Chain A
Amino acid sequence: MSESVKAQIQSLIDESPVLLFMKGTPESPQCGFSATVVDILKSTETPYKTFDVLSDREVRQGIKEFSNWPTIPQLYVNGQFVGGCDIAVEMFQKGELQTLLQTTQ
Protein backbone atom coordinates (compact mmCIF):
# COMPACT_ATOMS: atom_id res chain seq x y z
CA MET A 1 0.00 0.00 0.00
CA SER A 2 1.42 3.39 -0.97
CA GLU A 3 1.81 6.15 1.59
CA SER A 4 -0.73 8.28 -0.25
CA VAL A 5 -3.40 5.60 -0.07
CA LYS A 6 -2.64 5.07 3.58
CA ALA A 7 -2.98 8.81 4.21
CA GLN A 8 -6.20 8.90 2.21
CA ILE A 9 -7.72 6.08 4.27
CA GLN A 10 -6.57 7.67 7.52
CA SER A 11 -8.16 11.00 6.63
CA LEU A 12 -11.42 9.31 5.61
CA ILE A 13 -11.55 7.64 9.01
CA ASP A 14 -10.57 10.81 10.86
CA GLU A 15 -13.25 12.88 9.14
CA SER A 16 -16.22 10.65 9.99
CA PRO A 17 -17.09 9.30 13.43
CA VAL A 18 -18.97 6.48 11.71
CA LEU A 19 -17.53 5.28 8.43
CA LEU A 20 -18.42 2.18 6.48
CA PHE A 21 -16.18 0.90 3.71
CA MET A 22 -18.63 -0.98 1.52
CA LYS A 23 -19.33 -2.28 -1.95
CA GLY A 24 -21.72 0.13 -3.63
CA THR A 25 -23.71 2.86 -1.92
CA PRO A 26 -26.38 2.84 0.81
CA GLU A 27 -28.97 3.41 -1.92
CA SER A 28 -27.56 0.66 -4.10
CA PRO A 29 -25.38 -1.82 -2.18
CA GLN A 30 -23.52 -4.27 -4.44
CA CYS A 31 -23.14 -7.01 -1.85
CA GLY A 32 -25.47 -8.55 0.70
CA PHE A 33 -23.01 -8.13 3.56
CA SER A 34 -22.59 -4.44 2.84
CA ALA A 35 -26.39 -4.10 2.60
CA THR A 36 -26.81 -5.73 6.01
CA VAL A 37 -24.47 -3.28 7.75
CA VAL A 38 -26.18 -0.34 6.04
CA ASP A 39 -29.55 -1.62 7.27
CA ILE A 40 -28.21 -1.85 10.82
CA LEU A 41 -26.75 1.66 10.71
CA LYS A 42 -29.99 3.07 9.28
CA SER A 43 -32.02 1.40 12.01
CA THR A 44 -29.94 3.08 14.72
CA GLU A 45 -30.59 6.51 13.14
CA THR A 46 -26.94 7.42 13.65
CA PRO A 47 -25.37 9.69 11.04
CA TYR A 48 -22.81 7.74 9.05
CA LYS A 49 -20.73 8.02 5.93
CA THR A 50 -19.74 5.36 3.47
CA PHE A 51 -16.92 4.83 1.03
CA ASP A 52 -17.55 2.72 -2.05
CA VAL A 53 -14.48 0.53 -2.51
CA LEU A 54 -15.69 -0.45 -5.98
CA SER A 55 -15.00 3.15 -7.03
CA ASP A 56 -11.33 3.01 -6.03
CA ARG A 57 -9.15 -0.02 -6.66
CA GLU A 58 -6.28 1.23 -4.50
CA VAL A 59 -8.46 1.87 -1.46
CA ARG A 60 -10.20 -1.46 -2.02
CA GLN A 61 -6.88 -3.28 -1.68
CA GLY A 62 -5.34 -0.82 0.77
CA ILE A 63 -8.11 -1.00 3.37
CA LYS A 64 -7.58 -4.75 3.76
CA GLU A 65 -3.98 -4.16 4.71
CA PHE A 66 -4.77 -1.05 6.75
CA SER A 67 -7.27 -2.91 8.95
CA ASN A 68 -5.54 -6.28 8.79
CA TRP A 69 -8.92 -7.59 7.66
CA PRO A 70 -9.36 -9.40 4.35
CA THR A 71 -12.99 -8.67 3.53
CA ILE A 72 -15.42 -5.81 2.85
CA PRO A 73 -17.53 -4.30 4.46
CA GLN A 74 -15.48 -2.76 7.24
CA LEU A 75 -16.94 -0.51 9.91
CA TYR A 76 -14.97 2.20 11.70
CA VAL A 77 -16.34 4.09 14.71
CA ASN A 78 -14.43 6.96 16.33
CA GLY A 79 -11.39 6.05 14.27
CA GLN A 80 -11.37 2.48 15.56
CA PHE A 81 -11.91 -0.61 13.46
CA VAL A 82 -15.04 -2.37 14.74
CA GLY A 83 -15.28 -5.31 12.36
CA GLY A 84 -17.06 -6.70 9.35
CA CYS A 85 -20.65 -7.77 8.82
CA ASP A 86 -20.70 -10.70 11.25
CA ILE A 87 -19.29 -8.65 14.11
CA ALA A 88 -21.60 -5.71 13.38
CA VAL A 89 -24.60 -8.06 13.44
CA GLU A 90 -23.46 -9.78 16.62
CA MET A 91 -22.79 -6.49 18.41
CA PHE A 92 -26.11 -5.11 17.21
CA GLN A 93 -28.00 -8.15 18.54
CA LYS A 94 -26.34 -7.67 21.92
CA GLY A 95 -27.03 -3.92 21.91
CA GLU A 96 -23.32 -3.17 22.06
CA LEU A 97 -23.19 -1.47 18.69
CA GLN A 98 -25.98 0.92 19.63
CA THR A 99 -24.06 1.86 22.79
CA LEU A 100 -20.89 2.43 20.80
CA LEU A 101 -22.70 4.49 18.17
CA GLN A 102 -24.25 6.70 20.84
CA THR A 103 -20.75 7.89 21.75
CA THR A 104 -20.46 9.48 18.32
CA GLN A 105 -23.49 11.75 18.74
Chain B
Amino acid sequence: MQISNQEIEAIVRKRLPNSEVLVQDMTGTGDHFQLVVMDPSFEGMSLVGQHRLVMGALSEQLEEAVHAVQIKTLTPRKWQEYQNGGTNVRIS
Protein backbone atom coordinates (compact mmCIF):
# COMPACT_ATOMS: atom_id res chain seq x y z
CA MET B 1 0.00 0.00 0.00
CA GLN B 2 1.43 3.33 -1.04
CA ILE B 3 1.12 6.57 0.80
CA SER B 4 1.37 10.04 -0.71
CA ASN B 5 3.48 13.02 0.30
CA GLN B 6 0.28 14.88 1.19
CA GLU B 7 -0.86 12.09 3.49
CA ILE B 8 2.51 12.07 5.28
CA GLU B 9 2.34 15.84 5.71
CA ALA B 10 -1.23 15.64 7.04
CA ILE B 11 -0.31 12.93 9.56
CA VAL B 12 2.63 14.92 10.94
CA ARG B 13 0.63 18.15 11.06
CA LYS B 14 -2.16 16.41 12.93
CA ARG B 15 0.32 15.65 15.74
CA LEU B 16 2.20 18.95 15.41
CA PRO B 17 -0.44 21.50 14.33
CA ASN B 18 1.98 24.44 14.36
CA SER B 19 4.55 22.72 12.21
CA GLU B 20 5.74 23.28 8.69
CA VAL B 21 6.38 20.02 6.87
CA LEU B 22 8.22 19.40 3.62
CA VAL B 23 7.97 15.87 2.27
CA GLN B 24 9.99 14.29 -0.48
CA ASP B 25 9.44 10.78 -1.82
CA MET B 26 13.02 9.54 -2.14
CA THR B 27 12.37 6.56 -4.37
CA GLY B 28 9.09 7.34 -6.10
CA THR B 29 7.62 4.23 -4.53
CA GLY B 30 5.75 5.84 -1.64
CA ASP B 31 7.67 4.02 1.06
CA HIS B 32 10.82 6.02 1.64
CA PHE B 33 10.42 9.67 2.55
CA GLN B 34 12.57 12.58 3.52
CA LEU B 35 10.91 15.00 5.88
CA VAL B 36 11.92 18.48 6.90
CA VAL B 37 9.85 19.49 9.90
CA MET B 38 9.81 22.84 11.68
CA ASP B 39 7.94 23.20 14.93
CA PRO B 40 8.16 25.87 17.65
CA SER B 41 8.09 23.15 20.34
CA PHE B 42 11.50 21.89 19.12
CA GLU B 43 13.13 24.92 20.72
CA GLY B 44 15.22 23.68 23.65
CA MET B 45 14.38 20.05 22.96
CA SER B 46 17.07 17.43 22.30
CA LEU B 47 17.55 16.21 18.76
CA VAL B 48 16.44 12.75 19.87
CA GLY B 49 13.30 14.24 21.39
CA GLN B 50 12.51 16.14 18.20
CA HIS B 51 12.94 13.06 16.03
CA ARG B 52 10.89 10.94 18.46
CA LEU B 53 7.99 13.36 18.10
CA VAL B 54 8.05 13.17 14.31
CA MET B 55 8.51 9.41 14.22
CA GLY B 56 5.84 9.02 16.89
CA ALA B 57 3.37 10.75 14.60
CA LEU B 58 4.25 8.23 11.90
CA SER B 59 4.50 5.14 14.11
CA GLU B 60 1.55 3.39 12.47
CA GLN B 61 2.92 4.05 8.98
CA LEU B 62 6.43 2.95 9.99
CA GLU B 63 5.00 -0.43 10.99
CA GLU B 64 3.44 -0.96 7.59
CA ALA B 65 3.54 1.17 4.44
CA VAL B 66 6.64 3.21 5.16
CA HIS B 67 10.02 1.45 5.25
CA ALA B 68 12.23 4.43 5.93
CA VAL B 69 12.07 8.09 6.82
CA GLN B 70 14.92 10.52 6.83
CA ILE B 71 14.21 13.36 9.18
CA LYS B 72 15.55 16.84 9.52
CA THR B 73 14.03 18.85 12.35
CA LEU B 74 14.32 22.60 12.62
CA THR B 75 13.37 25.22 15.17
CA PRO B 76 11.70 28.36 13.76
CA ARG B 77 15.07 30.16 13.88
CA LYS B 78 16.84 27.40 11.94
CA TRP B 79 13.90 27.21 9.56
CA GLN B 80 14.45 30.83 8.67
CA GLU B 81 18.11 30.12 7.93
CA TYR B 82 17.12 27.05 5.94
CA GLN B 83 14.67 29.01 3.79
CA ASN B 84 17.26 31.70 3.23
CA GLY B 85 19.64 29.02 2.01
CA GLY B 86 21.84 29.36 5.08
CA THR B 87 24.96 27.24 5.06
CA ASN B 88 24.47 26.20 8.68
CA VAL B 89 21.62 23.94 7.77
CA ARG B 90 22.44 20.99 5.63
CA ILE B 91 20.26 18.19 4.43
CA SER B 92 22.27 15.07 3.98
Contacts and interface: CB of A to CB of B under 8 A. Distances in A.
B92 A87 contact: no
Interface in B47-72: 47-48, 51-52, 55, 59, 62-63, 68-72
A71 interface: yes
Contacts of A89: 92
A28 interface: no
Interface residues of B, number: 15
Contacts of B59: 70
A91 B47 contact: yes
Nearest to A31: B68
Nearest to B55: A70
Nearest to A32: B68
A82 interface: yes
Nearest to A68: B52
B48 A86 contact: no
Contacts of A84: 51
Given A70-B62, A91-B47, A93-B90, A86 B70 contact: yes
Contacts of A87: 47-48, 51
A89 B92 CA distance: 8
A86 B92 CA distance: 8
Contacts of A33: 68
Contacts of B70: 85-86
Given A86-B70, A86-B92, A71 B55 contact: yes
Interface in A15-45: 33
A73 B51 CA distance: 14
Nearest to A92: B92
B24 to A, nearest CB: 14
A85 B77 CA distance: 24
Interface string A64-105: 000011110000000001111111011101000000000000
